[in-house]
Amino acid sequence: MAERRIMFVFPGQGSQYRGMGSDLCAEFSVARETYAEASEALGFDMARLSFEDPAGEIGLTRNTQPALLTHEVACLRVFRELLGQPLVPALAAGHSLGEYTALVATGSLGLADGLRLVRRRGELMGEHGEGGMLALGLDAAAARAIADRHYCQVASINLPEQTVVGGRDADLETLAAEMERINPRRRPVRLATEGAFHTYLMVEAARRFRETLDATPFAPPTAGVLSNYSAEVHEPEAGAIRTRLFFQLFNPVNWVGCLATAMQQGVSHMIEFGGGIGSGEGPGEKRPNLESIVRKTLKGAGYEAQYAAAINSATLRAAAAQFAG
């Protein structure tokens, strides 16, 4: 165990689904307690939203973000309980919303404070967002060059050859038309979002969010937490953490840069907590959101690290068994 350099990984929007967390709460009291804490902090029934989603609103940004944070923390707490021994990661990282979970996981943010932060963040992103996002099969430099010509902006660097851009709808349409002329085999993919997240169109949301950030206490993290904005480890001071989260809202998520830093720091194992993607409806039919892009990035760099999913009851038990030795 001492020779392992472990990184905890937390996904962002796009990994939510109806039924998320229901299997954990059926089996583990620590998960039920986590959902009860979330409900108390936010003033609504987080379990009902996550398990049943009766009004079809889990996909709204104001709900998606606290629902995912709750599920990710529940998965982490179940994992620690199953492991039965302390496991302090060398690093923690999250994609967009997941960065907040990484801060909760390392003790920088309390769960209630983290939930209130992301609830407000999601409200502002939904209220003040406009436009949308496109995934392009281009590296960041090439994506930036074409985005600049259409008043769009790089929003997320997910893979060395996959970059997400954001902008107003009309601008995205002209950008997509140019992409199809240049390379019809690599058509852009429109993402289901309430706006052009992590672009200049989020500046007003960030301005309003600053007040909530400034009022929220942060402690020094117990492990290195990677900043999406800088792709470096957060400085431990509360003010520095706040400013990086502020800038994160209207600047690209540099996920490739975060993984480069993880490799530089010699991470040997990664564990992804929470969320899930795939066409299956139940938690047991989901697969981890970030695993594919992480593996592709590591392979492209010629770097080896073990990856484990901890996103439902079965994978949590398997991960705990893997790391118990």
pLDDT digits (tens, 9 = 90+) for 256-284: 999 999 999 999 999 999 999 999 889 99
Q: Where are the alpha helices (DSSP H) in the chain?
A: 22-27, 29-42, 46-51, 61-83, 97-105, 111-128, 140-148, 169-182, 203-214, 238-248, 255-264, 291-300, 313-323
One DSSP character per residue, 158-170 reads EETTEEEEEE-HH
291-314 b/e with 16+ CB inside 10 Å = b? Answer: bebbeebbeeeeeebebbbbbbbe
Kindly report, residue by residue over 56-82, the tens digit of the pLDDT: 999 999 999 999 999 999 999 999 999
* Average pLDDT of the chain, as a whole number: 96
Q: Quick one: pLDDT band at residue 3, thresholds 50, 70, 90?
A: confident
* pTM of the complete model: 0.97
Q: Quick one: pLDDT band at residue 325, thresholds 50, 70, 90?
A: low
Average confidence (pLDDT) over 295-309: 97
Give catalytic residues, as residue numbers: 96, 198
Average confidence (pLDDT) over 284-307: 97
> Crossing angle for the helix pair 97-105 and 111-128, nearest 10 degrees?
170
Considering the chain, what percentage of its residues have pLDDT values greater than 90? 93
Fill in the DSSP letter of residue 108.
S
One DSSP character per residue, 190-247 reads EE--SS-TTSGGGHHHHHHHHHHHHTS-----SSEEB-TTTSSBPPSSHHHHHHHHHH
pLDDT of residue 204: 97
pLDDT of residue 85: 84
Which is it for strands 162-167 and 153-159: parallel, antiparallel or unpaired? antiparallel
One-letter identity of residue 210:
R
CA nearest to 93, candidates 231, 265, 274, 291: 231
Cross-strand partners of 306: 269
What's the CATH code, domain 132-191?
Answer: 3.30.70.250
Q: Quick one: pLDDT band at residue 122, thresholds 50, 70, 90?
A: very high
Considering the chain, what percentage of its residues have pLDDT values greater than 70? 99
- CB contact at 8 A, 50 and 58: yes
CA atoms within 13 A on the CB side of 56: 0
On the question of pLDDT at 1 being above 70, the answer is no
pLDDT of residue 2: 55
CA distance 94 to 98: 4
CA nearest to 310, candidates 17, 21, 2: 21
CA distance 130 to 196: 6
The correct CATH number of 6-127+200-323 out of 3.40.50.300, 3.30.930.10, 3.40.366.10, 3.90.550.10 is 3.40.366.10
- State the span(s) of the chain assigned CATH 3.40.366.10: 6-127+200-323
Is pLDDT larger for residue 324 or for residue 112? 112
Kindly report, residue by residue over 157-208, the tens digit of the pLDDT: 999 999 999 999 999 999 999 999 988 888 999 998 999 999 999 999 999 9
- State the span(s) of the chain assigned CATH 3.30.70.250: 132-191
Walk across the sheet containing 6-10 and list its strands: 224-225, 91-94, 6-10, 269-273, 306-310
CA nearest to 259, candidates 221, 290, 220, 223: 290
